[in-house]
Amino acid sequence: MKTKLIWLVLFSAALYQCNSRETKLEYFPSGNIKAKVEVKDKVKDGTAVLYFPNGQVQAIHSYKNDSLCGVSSYFSDNGLLSKKVSYKNSIRNGPFDIYHDNGNIAEVGTYILGSKRGKVISYYREDSAKIHYETYLISVNNQEFTYYRNIYGRNGELQKVIRPLDVRIPKDSVSLSEAIVVKVKLSSDVNCDSCAILVGQFDPLFNLVGEIDTVHLVNKAAEFTFRPSNIGKQFIRGKWSAISKEEDADSIYQYNTFGFFEEQVIIY
């Protein structure tokens, strides 16, 4: 009986040690607090608060098994919130907010696997209710490409549209049996001696997951047919490429400009 009791005590102590949670503190040479981190089983697990040397909070993170998860909040050294970023497994993934130095909202959008993706809205510094830019970003191989950008004045008027490739679909919802004729046209700002688009089955990171077709543009314009594959939300995705040439007395120079596009359709 005594032996069993000893083993029970030892087992309980070991179990407590393996599942122990503590808060670790780190200090600046001045003695001010530098970090306060919750730790479980010797790895970060819980809330971590980082501080500036002046004592203001620099960042608040949430950890799960030593990986950033959930929403992290970052602050300037005067105490104002500077940004909020969503994480999953220590990779930026999900909504984000960025703030001007006066505390007003500056930018909102979404990260997907570490890169800004989709529509990003930027606001005027003095009036966070007024949109300055509306930008659609597509990230491929950790490089951001602008599909389009709309620029607005302080009174809400649309001042300029930057869209290298204009993609038009007749309607944003169609039946599963209905084919969609997509019309595309390169901007007059894009120099092009030879232009084409690649269309097919791309995943959200623009990895090819199915068949692909090459559509050549004539006078910078073309059209192609998209056939839905299943009911629900689908994206028409592709890559465009424009090759231009310049000549002088001795040489011929070739330039390649390219980008990506995607449009959402609802299939019923």
Lowest mean pLDDT among 49-63, 115-129, 243-257: 243-257
Q: Which residue type occupies 90?
A: S
Rounded to whole angstroms, the Cα distance separating 131 from 149 reads 12
Query: Using one digit for the tens of pLDDT, what is the confidence trace for 95-130?
Result: 999 999 999 999 999 999 999 999 999 999 998 889
Query: Using one digit for the tens of pLDDT, what is the confidence trace for 180-214?
Result: 999 999 999 999 999 999 998 898 889 888 888 99
- Highest mean pLDDT among 92-96, 142-146, 247-251 belongs to 92-96
Domains in the chain, CATH or no CATH each: 2-162 (3.90.930.1), 165-267 (2.60.40)
Rounded to whole angstroms, the Cα distance separating 126 from 103 reads 10
In angstroms, the Cα distances linking 24 to 31, 34, 38, 160, 162 are 15, 11, 6, 52, 50
pLDDT value, residue 19? 56
Q: pTM for the full model?
A: 0.83
pLDDT value, residue 29? 95
* Over residues 212-220, mean pLDDT: 94
